[in-house]
Structure 1
Amino acid sequence: MNAIAEAAVIKQHLIDPEICIRCNTCEAICPVQAITHDSVNYVVDASKCNLCMDCISPCPTGSIDNWRMMPRVRAYTTEEQLKWDELPAELPPEELEGLAEAGADVSTAPAPVAPPAVVKEPGGEEAFNSAAFGATLPPWSAAHAYSNLYGPKAAQKTVTATVVGNVRVTEVGKTAGSDYDTHHIVLDFGAMPFPVLEGQSIGVVPPGVDDIGRKHHARQYSIASPRNGERPGYNNLSLTIKRVLQDHDGDPVRGVASNYMCDLKVGDKVEVIGPFGTSFLMPNHPRSSIVMICTGTGSAPMRAMTEWRRRLRASGKFEGGKLMLFFGARTQEELPYFGPLQSLPKDFIDINFAFSRTPGQPKRYVQDVMRERAADLAAMLQDANTYFYVCGLKSMEEGVVLALRDVAQGAGLNWDTIGAALKREGRLHLETY
């Protein structure tokens, strides 16, 4: 490597560990797999990052939008970043100026690069990139979202909420024992301002410290109540939280925040930061339709959107379009809100369940049911007033977007055109973890 190349200055992309709520949005959406994490931090590999900027807008906290001008040979490694409690200071200007005078390339970034719809796996085979079609802009008619009112870099670090409700919302069954229950938890903020919209989330700060003595970082939970509160007219909101006793690989682990939250009693106090999110928001214009696709506690934002539309319908002051829900779980007993969903009017919402572990029945996932409703979904894909929302485990995302592609192609539509429009017009939103 010649002297000039060695002295080259890059604009290194970094994640602020003080603000990051470890939601996994950035890693899930990165088209070049430049972002990784351990149990403490999320970090960016400078050797892989192409500064495409695709991760910036979806980040709910803004922690991803941080940069440092660095000599290429001194770029922070992922190993260094994993140990950070806060971002390092900028290098002194005179040090960078000296590099520039020596002939270094100090261009800050290439032009943004659109993420490809097809990516290469490590073995060289091609794989569908579902994240390429996820919108980073909200629907044009979405209400203005307030975000980051409370947090490490805000004027007030946290706000204290009071638990005013904690109810189990899954049935007790053979595959849904008491250890794997899901709770509907209502938090009241009293006189402290905490405006939220459907599709936003909050961070809960569990008490105590982790294995290395550091305070627990905040855990993110989607809001399950509409903008005017779980109880209309009160400064409150609700969350849908499942106890975590194993990780995504099936290994035993006790979720710090999920168990803390599920065990709370009415009257207990909780430290909260946020709210977060400015893109996964529902449309507000008349006759707009919403297709909601979720699994498990990914139902939280869908419940919020459904309840807000139900209240608007009851008021008689809003002409809404269609509501369509695809909701998946292993069994009926593990599906949150199963009873209340059954009581919603059929002319208000079109509900489709998918259960993958029902004894004696074939496995059915949300994407399977979507294909069964292909004719209806094809019409909605072509309707500029229809918006699609996907929330749940990361493993569902590719199957769902592929199902939408198959529905489009089965109807004789050009998926490249449809998919690009869904992203460009803020009509397909992906929030998986």
Structure 2
Amino acid sequence: MDAPATVVQQHLIDPEICIRCNTCEATCPIGAITHDSRNYVVDADKCNACMACVPPCPTGAIDNWRVVPRARTYTLAEQLGWDELPAPLSEEALAALGGDAQAAAAEAQAVVERAVQASAASATVEPQAAALTGAALGATLGATLPPWSAAHPYTHLYGPRAARKSVRATCVGNLRVTEVGSDYDTHHIVLDFGDMPFPVLEGQSIGIIPPGTDAQGRPHHPRQYSVASPRNGERPGRNNLSLTVKRVLADPQGHPVRGVASNYLCDLQVGDTVEVIGPFGSSFLMPNHPKSHLVMICTGTGSAPMRAMTEWRRRLRASGKFEGGRLLLFFGARTPQELPYFGPLQKLPRDFIDIHFAFSRVPGQPKRYVQDAMREAAAELVPLLQDPDAYFYVCGLRAMEEGVLLALRDIATGAGLDWEALAADLRERGRLHLETY
């Protein structure tokens, strides 16, 4: 057996900084990533180090590697039990386990080369992209670069790898923003950081660390939440931000479950303190240049970053110093009663934003999803797809992603546009951003 075959650079996920956003599992084209209630892990028997999962990760937790003997790779069971990554093996330890240092060096170099290739590929779209579906479609078309005029984001100010592992914020507001119902309870929560700096931009997210321990007696890992307020705070000029949180009472399969972090946040009282890490996110950002257009497509709590972007534009408009481009919002929910911020949205001026609602569970009416609303508005979307100053943002449940992307493709091809060239432009220029979970 050749020396390089004795070792492998095993792809691992750092459990200390992973915020369980599910991006890696959703973008892996071969199903090598899985998770349990605690950790996301990579199956060494499936992973081919294609690097598709690396660029979209908001924290860098996915970009970790360990040289191990090929016959002694870390099992899924081992990884699921980790609270932190194992230390790299020394040359002596590697040799004792049957590995080869020279082969290890070759494997390490190969990973670096694949990373460079993945970075270059992230700015291009393969010709067959139009035929892809599901998570592979999103991984191929979603931009990993921000709009060219986006403000500079600050990331990882607090967390396991930062000088401060976390910061405490105080709950100064907790308002329910959906009508009372049995399985849809969404809250608008305002957190104040006092004199601790915590700058965020529209489109970024934070990690919340719930108190207490899990069933195994270990501290809870952080959960990710998108920021719902603009860069100058939920209350302008204050060092605060807001979140849109839905109380989780069932898993995606409909089985009863009580979400640890979501229920903790929804039950916060004014004056309670919360442990926070972050901020995260460097690409799902809004453009700053005047007259840029925003097309926002979301469902449920995916409205959080859209609310942040809309509110920042509204404040700029009110100042009289900014002439913004068009704002289009495609917002889906099962019913109007389950749609967060439904009342405030109705009060926004029509000359400020065009809103297209889509409801899928209204009694006596056919099911209608955001992609249906998009197709109905094709005449409005075609010129925006062609406009280099128009940016598209998609946020919500993973199930919506494929339908939205296929709708964009169908709208483009229906207008006689070259979808492959257009898709490449949307990605290369940071014009199409996906954040689904």
What TM bracket, shorter-length normalisation?
over 0.9
Report if the CA contact (8 A) 1:205-1:272 is conserved.
yes
Report if the CA contact (8 A) 1:41-1:82 is conserved.
yes
Instruction: Please point out which of 355, 358, 365 is paired with 2:362.
Output: 358
- Once the two structures are superposed, residues 213-255 of structure 1 have per-residue CA deviations (whole angstroms, 9 ceiling, x without a partner) of 1111111110000000000000000000111100111000001
1:379 has 2:383 as partner? yes
1:288 has 2:288 as partner? no
- Aligned pairs for 1:10-409 (under 5 A) are 10-94=8-92, 99-100=100-101, 106=107, 107-109=109-111, 111=114, 112=117, 114=121, 129-172=137-180, 176-177=181-182, 180-409=184-413
Report if the CA contact (8 A) 2:149-2:289 is conserved.
yes
Q: SS of the counterpart of 1:417?
A: helix
Report if the CA contact (8 A) 2:52-2:139 is conserved.
no
Letter in 1 for 2:236: P
Structure 1 residues 102 and 262, CA gap change in structure 2 (3 angstroms): closer
- Once the two structures are superposed, residues 95-122 of structure 1 have per-residue CA deviations (whole angstroms, 9 ceiling, x without a partner) of 558714589953433543558656999x
Q: How far apart, CA to CA, are the structure 1 residues paired with 2:352 and 2:390?
A: 15
Shift of 1:314: 1.0
Percent identical among aligned pairs is 72
- When normalised by structure 1's length, the TM-score is 0.93
Q: How far apart, CA to CA, are the structure 2 residues paired with 1:78 and 1:263?
A: 35
Q: How far apart, CA to CA, are the structure 2 residues paired with 1:27 and 1:101?
A: 32
Structure 1 residues 101 and 355, CA gap change in structure 2 (3 angstroms): closer
Match of 1:426 in 2: 430
Q: SS of the counterpart of 1:180?
A: coil
Structure 1 residues 257 and 349, CA gap change in structure 2 (3 angstroms): same
Letter in 2 for 1:89: A
Question: As a proportion of its length, which structure holds more helix?
Answer: 2
Q: How far apart, CA to CA, are the structure 1 residues paired with 2:46 and 2:129?
A: 17
Report if the CA contact (8 A) 1:35-1:43 is conserved.
yes
User: Cα RMSD over matched residues?
Assistant: 2.2
Report if the CA contact (8 A) 1:56-1:62 is conserved.
yes
Structure 1 residues 372 and 393, CA gap change in structure 2 (3 angstroms): same
User: Structure 1, unaligned stretches of length 5 or more?
Assistant: none
Letter in 1 for 2:147: P
Report if the CA contact (8 A) 1:4-1:103 is conserved.
no
Shift of 1:287: 1.2
Structure 1 residues 221 and 424, CA gap change in structure 2 (3 angstroms): same
Q: How far apart, CA to CA, are the structure 1 residues paired with 2:46 and 2:318?
A: 52
Match of 1:410 in 2: 414
Structure 1 residues 222 and 52, CA gap change in structure 2 (3 angstroms): same
Q: How far apart, CA to CA, are the structure 2 residues paired with 1:295 and 1:180?
A: 13
Structure 1 residues 77 and 190, CA gap change in structure 2 (3 angstroms): same
Shift of 1:54: 2.7
- Once the two structures are superposed, residues 316-345 of structure 1 have per-residue CA deviations (whole angstroms, 9 ceiling, x without a partner) of 222211100000000000000001001101
Shift of 1:11: 2.2
Q: How far apart, CA to CA, are the structure 2 residues paired with 1:318 and 1:120?
A: 41
Structure 1 residues 118 and 157, CA gap change in structure 2 (3 angstroms): same
Q: How far apart, CA to CA, are the structure 1 residues paired with 2:102 and 2:164?
A: 43
128-137 or 350-359, which deviates more: 128-137
Report if the CA contact (8 A) 1:58-1:277 is conserved.
no
Q: How far apart, CA to CA, are the structure 2 residues paired with 1:319 and 1:103?
A: 56
Letter in 2 for 1:348: F
92-101 or 50-59, which deviates more: 92-101
Q: How far apart, CA to CA, are the structure 2 residues paired with 1:127 and 1:192?
A: 38
Report if the CA contact (8 A) 2:249-2:257 is conserved.
yes
Shift of 1:425: 1.2
- Once the two structures are superposed, residues 292-316 of structure 1 have per-residue CA deviations (whole angstroms, 9 ceiling, x without a partner) of 0000000000000000011111112
Structure 1 residues 128 and 149, CA gap change in structure 2 (3 angstroms): closer
Report if the CA contact (8 A) 2:27-2:135 is conserved.
no
Shift of 1:55: 2.2
Q: SS of the counterpart of 2:100?
A: helix
Structure 1 residues 118 and 35, CA gap change in structure 2 (3 angstroms): farther
